[in-house]
Amino acid sequence: EAVRKAKSNIQQQSRAALSHEQTTVPYSEEYLTKLLCGNTKRNGSITLVFHDWSSDGYILSGKRIDNDGWTIITEGHANYYGMAWWKDKYMTDDVDMQVLLTSEFAFAERTFAGECMAQQLND
């Protein structure tokens, strides 16, 4: 349900912003992260690759490192105006969790602020 909502929000914001011209292209590179996951702040880094997709924006791929280990992005999208969501899965043996992240990029500054929601995976 949370993924569906995140996708829907990004699509609605893309449509609402169609009258504005994209002025900055995102950089595929490493970003320092400051995420809020519930009441817990998580610092780390993420390497993102923006794949040009369509008139709606970019497909995201990459990996993230934080206090709990490293993750691989399994699905994600960013619109041309900086709104993004992605799911990643921890690849560390002792952490069996999937995370949904929603964020807003400032492409020109190469930064983003975001929130995450974690879900424990069942064996």
Q: What angle do CA 8, 6, 122 make, to 5 degrees?
A: 130
Confidence bin at 60 (pLDDT 50/70/90)? very high
* pLDDT confidence of residue 72: 92
Give me the sign of the Cα torsion angle 69, 46, 85, 89. Answer: negative
Task: Determine what percent of the chain is predicted with pLDDT higher than 70.
Answer: 78
Give pLDDT, residue 63: 93
Q: What's the whole-model pTM score?
A: 0.72
The pLDDT score that the predictor gives to residue 19 is: 47
Whole-number average pLDDT of the chain: 78
pLDDT band at 79 (very low <50, low <70, confident <90, very high): confident
Q: Between residues 15 and 3, which one has the greater pLDDT?
A: 3
pLDDT, one tens digit per residue, over 34-56 is 788 888 888 888 899 999 877 77
